[in-house]
A and B are shown apart, each in its own frame.
Chain A
Amino acid sequence: EIVLTQSPGTLSLSPGERATLSCRASQSVSSSYLAWYQQKPGQAPRLLIYGASTRATGIPDRFSGSGSGTDFTLTISRLEPEDFAVYYCQQYGSSPLTFGGGTKVEIK
């Protein structure tokens, strides 16, 4: 199975700053079938990005995804107060689905 490693584990930033989250796969992710989710306490994961770079419906354009093969990045251009949360990457190009361990974006 494909192992996804997210870094850093925690990102301490201030509102207005840029956040760059990394997701590295143990082998190439087929057809860039890579998604990013945001999760807040007590809530289900919220889809942000799929197909590595396509924003889901209703997602603000400050969120962007890039990458291919084994290296993927989620960028939040300017952090808003509501963006402080845990972020997960997921690959769905091969079975089984796998998820990264998450990156927590916290207020500095």
Chain B
Amino acid sequence: EVQLVESGGGLVQPGGSLRLSCAASGFTFSSYWIHWVRQAPGKGLVWVSRIKSDGSSTLYAESVKGRFTISRDNVKNTLYLQMNSLRAEDTAMYYCAMYGGGSGWFWGQGTLVTVSS
């Protein structure tokens, strides 16, 4: 069974940093591109970043470019999102998501990031 489990969220002050993790199991992690998607309270879904299966290529939304870094460890089967220079508008639930081809999309349950003083 495919499982994606996010962790690392919490309360952080503006300008602070946080690293999110997404632990994967039930599939060959190193074969799939993985995405981060966020959802601000009461708002819709917004794509944040994605990383290629071998980590050689990354892409970011303009709103986080230069502040967030996506990475992965294909030995530990874990995806990361390093978030620096956090702003109030980064407050959101953060989900990792993976397209499994013929099986469709798989999402984690999310981890909440709150940026507030």
Residue numbers of A with Cβ under 8 A of B are 35, 37, 44-45, 47, 50-51, 54, 56-57, 88, 90, 92, 95-102
Determine the interface band of chain B, counting residues with CB < 8 A from chain A: 10 to 19
Instruction: Please encode chain B, from 3 to 20, with 1 for each CB lying within 8 Å of some chain A CB and 0 for all others.
Output: 000000000000000000
List chain A residues, Cβ under 8 A from B26. Answer: none
B105 touches A95 (CB 8 A): no
Residue numbers of B with Cβ under 8 A of A are 35, 37, 44-47, 50, 59, 61, 95, 99, 103-110
A99 touches B46 (CB 8 A): yes
A92 CA to B107 CA, complexed, in Å: 14
B44 touches A57 (CB 8 A): no
Chain A's nearest CB lies how many Å from the CB of B52? 11
- Indicate which residue in B35, B44, B106, B108 contacts A97 across the interface (CB closer than 8 Å): B35
List chain B residues, Cβ under 8 A from A88. Answer: 44-45
Chain B's nearest CB lies how many Å from the CB of A107? 19
A44 touches B46 (CB 8 A): no
From known contacts A96-B61, A97-B35, A97-B37, infer whether A47 and B105 are also in contact, taking CB-CB under 8 Å: yes
B45 touches A44 (CB 8 A): no
Chain B's nearest CB lies how many Å from the CB of A41? 10
A95 touches B59 (CB 8 A): yes
A51 CA to B44 CA, complexed, in Å: 21
- Indicate which residue in B44, B95, B105 contacts A50 across the interface (CB closer than 8 Å): B105
List chain A residues, Cβ under 8 A from B105. Answer: 35, 47, 50, 90, 92
B107 touches A97 (CB 8 A): no
